[in-house]
Amino acid sequence: MQIFVGLGNPGAKYAGNRHNIGFMALDRIAEDHGFGPWKAKFQGQLTEGRLGREKVLLLKPETFMNLSGQSVGEAMRFYKLEPGDVTVFHDELDLAPGKCKVKTGGGHAGHNGLRSIHAHIGEAYRRVRLGIGHPGRKELVAAYVLHDFHKADQDWLDDLLRGMSDGAAHLAEGDPGKFMNAVALRTAPPRSSKAAAKPAVETAPKPVPEDSASVADTRNPLQRLADKFR
């Protein structure tokens, strides 16, 4: 069994925020893979289902971002799981919008949700880092992450969420490479060339057959006169 955790803040006020992309990821996975109804449990919303061969719990902490670790730690201890059984989906300022990377362990880079999870279960859990870009200055970060995605962001956001749902079973089965490939097929699909390939060697024009009318007459007048009597 595994737990996929999506980070965000509860309530309609925050639903469309950049900080809530983790909630959005779990909502898409639950919908596409036929998970059961969400239920209030472990200070959050919980649903369960299967991804590939794996049983997976989806958990959205409702403690607000800064206390996310309380919910995650409670669920992990109840099911007697280890930090390595936990995958956290979260917003990442240091990645360009629409980018996605998977890592295990490491620091929290100032992310308050990860900071709280570190405090409750340690750092040896897996993270799916979802790029939202950076506003440019540190003092703008709080307002930026608590602001809704712009209308212009909806296309790449939808592609990213669909890609993660497509690859969710690979992630649950321990193959982050195949998960990333599934994301890439949505966010950066291969382009097919419509232009016909040019021949490597140009074809020489066919020779025109020569006939008597087209051959130049190089005889002198005396030879032409003599030929008439032959």
Domain CATH for 22: 3.40.50.1470
Note down the domain range covering 140. 2-187
Residue 195 resides in a domain = no
pLDDT at 209 over 90: no
Residue 148 pLDDT class (50, 70, 90 cuts) = very high
Q: Is residue 37 part of a domain?
A: yes
- Check residue 214 and give its pLDDT: 44
pLDDT at position 223: 66
- In the chain, the percentage of residues whose pLDDT exceeds 70 is 83
Closest listed residue to residue 68, CA positions, set 92, 35, 39, 90: 90
What positions carry a catalytic annotation? 19
What total of structural domains would you count in the chain?
1
Task: Flag whether 6 is in a domain.
Answer: yes
pLDDT at 199: 47
Report if residue 209 sits inside a domain.
Answer: no
Question: In the sheet that 2-6 helps form, which strands lie side by side, from edge to edge?
Answer: 39-41, 44-51, 54-61, 2-6, 86-92, 126-131, 100-104
Looking at residue 1, its pLDDT comes to 96
pLDDT tens for 122-133 read 999 999 999 999
Residue 216 within any structural domain of the chain? no
Cα 151 from chain centre: 19
The answer to whether residue 215 sits within a structural domain is: no
Q: List the one residue out of 25, 26, 77 whose CA is nearest residue 48.
A: 26
Residue 229 lies in a domain: no
Query: Which pLDDT tens digit goes with each residue over 24-50?
Result: 999 999 999 999 999 999 999 999 999
On whether residue 64 sits in a domain, the answer given is yes
